[in-house]
Amino acid sequence: MDTAVIDFGTRKTAHLHYVGLSRLRNLNGLYITCFSEHKIHVNPLVVQKMERLRHIHVWHPCLPDLATLSG
């Protein structure tokens, strides 16, 4: 999507806003209504898994580094 309106005033399900945000191509078309920090829910298990991935995951690119290829 190019544009989305995310209404934090209607939060009923955990991660529902993430689903809407993840459909945007960039943040230029994002409009947030009824924003309130206490309505943002982050599952502690998700935080734990993300921290684990940040510390143990080794990134292996599926494409060669284009800067090192001779043209």
Residue carrying structure tokens 């292996």? 60
pLDDT per residue as tens digits for the range 17-55: 777 778 888 889 888 888 877 777 778 898 898 888 888
pLDDT at 56: 82
**End-to-end CA distance of the chain, in Å?**
36
0.75 surpassed by pTM: no
C-alpha–C-alpha distance, residues 57 and 71, integer Å: 32
7 against 58, higher pLDDT: 7
Q: For 43, list phi and psi in degrees, rounded to 5.
A: -70, 125
Confidence of residue 67 (pLDDT cuts 50, 70, 90): low
pLDDT at 6: 82
For residue 13, pLDDT beyond 70: no
Q: Can you tell me whether residue 4 is helix, strand or coil?
A: strand
